[in-house]
Structure 1
């Protein structure tokens, strides 16, 4: 038996008084195992076990890369390995002066833990309705297949397990910070967390403006200009018209030339061009389309023949009725009172204030939640942003006169005249803000996008001429900027 062999050997050595370091032949080599067996990443745990069967009481000696041995337990665990922990390990056992053979060497390979790289196409800033793709790439040595996990805004809930996650039609709720994380498909290794990638989603809006003005005489040129907020490239445009009876439907203009220019020009306006216009834009394949733009209304006045058939173009012909607005400006604060009256030279009976809102609704003043009609006067007790639109006077026979574009908002507004300014008169513009003790702001004033006066509470043009027609707005460095207002200039009356 084994025990008898050991006893005889020990007895023999003592009797001869010759020190003997002997090698046991039956249990001479321990088995060294490592878990996990595959290469591991930095930060992971590695367990090494030196196993010697049947006999107990052994001390275990460990060495790495044939360096000096050190006594350790039968099992050693490196909880957070570094690249420097990699190498060739071996062990053997000792009891008294007796040693086993060395185990077979075992190589431990340590790779840097990979960090995923996240990308986004086409861009981090995207517009609602467009398609956007998030992609997670992980390059880790020795790993052929990864399981991907996507997270949003620090949540611990996985919202996608695809390497590429595509939003086919993004909304503002999809905006946020995204990051990914990978685990080995067939194994225990994992990656770092990726850096955050922020996706911002804006609402695409087509914005329609008119140049030079909305109120024209037959034969005048007019251009509709369609732009997309926050984006200027890759769009094609279409123009639509509707009648006062259309609520939710617009008809594509038969001669609407779609193109990248964003302009629709009528070289010689006719009476039948009077009406409501909108535009929309599209780009990409499959095409992404914006919603309809804000509404612009064109009004064409016919040429009047007088004085022995001599034709005189009266661009300043006075309509039979005027729309009087109080406060007298085209931009108004929300939650304020607004009064609109139809006044003619004889009496005001028989006139109704009507409006066409930016949402495409045709309404009477009496149908408004905060509105009431008394005679030919419409009163809105407390305005809201939904009151933005075109207002005009309508006769009992259905004739429409004197349209005015009204804008209501809570921020900065431009105080400008409702009616065209006569050549030679003074023009005063002010920048107003509701939530200050002094409503006048010291602001910069712009015409057609160019700065014309800076840091003043009001801008005064002492003698107005036709060259002063254009789109005006003001801008405050902290409060923001007002919408644009068209200032129309008519010829000097004689």
Structure 2
């Protein structure tokens, strides 16, 4: 939300584009109008929350890097005349940055007769202006469950200003998604979830009821369909059809079902959508053999609701050797579950994970929590739950990561330039090393959204080059078997950053922190802060901690001036300094790398 105030004689600050809300990942331009003479007669400085992040600019425009929630605040500009001792202060503009926008696709009607028209509607939440909408068909990506690729609908390369799209003459069952973009440079949302338009044709054989017995109420309504890479089933689609055996719509709970796919493909999967819109593959219903899904005892149990549990990890960021608690919650809460705990193993070819049971976990636990002792490396985890006889399992939870700066000898991340904070104009190289020939770089932002290197730049061999597209977040490397140390990288749009080591400092060793100016000029009257408290510091321009202890862990930042008599201060963002015990695994020290960064600045 942008709020304007000020006097007629003052400078005027405005933001382009003037949208509300703004979202994580978007970019804006701050424009300072002196409202006197020519723009070139003035020098311009910009501040956030009364701290200048760039000063004495000869142009009145400042382009931000990709916004994060941390960029929310009150902004102001100051125009200083180059010849006369005249200063113009602007109004204050309140800028609020929301998390990643969510797209919701709706289809109407969702069940059609052949030839009907269908309206797709794409909504951005929270609502905001300036979007163009793009429409896609979801193409099944076999043999992986839940995975689809997206094909633009005909004539959709430029998108539509309208948030709706009409499909004329719909004849077959098909899935669709949407996404939106706005701004210059262009900012894209994530894709919406897949929504299906159902068509049963002359016989709605995919609309199945389960009964517990004769004249007993229906316990569940579900849709079942066959999908191949080329088509999706309906009752009259010759390229893909589903046959149900026994050949009727209603079944007793004691019966086994066979769901048979036929058509122009040699590879199939059977998918189910329940009344809540949740999709599940044949593996949750029974067993897929060739083109047939046999439900066996899982159908006779009448259990077709497969909740997805929620996994939480505490703490999510650890120092080497910490204990971590995993907690698995089934929603809505219910009794009788046993919980199973898994390590997430990266599958590099498709940005997904397989699940490997943790040691001693074959029988599960009655408790909904599990403690990991002596966590030393970054790793992902998942859980699921089971109950009943025969056992009915939930889906797997989403993968949640325990992040650690501790170095894994089998997998390590090196950041170049070698520091945690970087200017928005810098390109980064994120280099993976260890016991693997294939790597991917992953990032998780403050909202928990994960993205691979391809969203940040380009992965070449074991190196991800961001080309100035990086945004703040936690980065790490993954191979098929290992995850590296994590680095909490801050991308700063201001003129000063803190120079601090990427990896934990060993207890008893020394470390030097520096304060770096974007222009490489000397910074004056530099102060350092730990957890927002000023640190007495006799060394000009840098902070030396000669023998680090665990008590030195904390959030550090620096503040300085461009000239000895300058009134305007420049403040860096904060970064966490991590300390590891001396009995942890040996690792390369960051001390020389940090000293070189500081020396280059001085």
TM-score range for the pair, normalised by the shorter chain length: 0.3 to 0.5
- Higher relative contact order structure (alpha carbons within 8 Å, sequence separation ≥ 6): 2
**Greater Rg by CA:** 1
- Given the two structures, how large is their TM-score scaled by the length of structure 1? 0.39
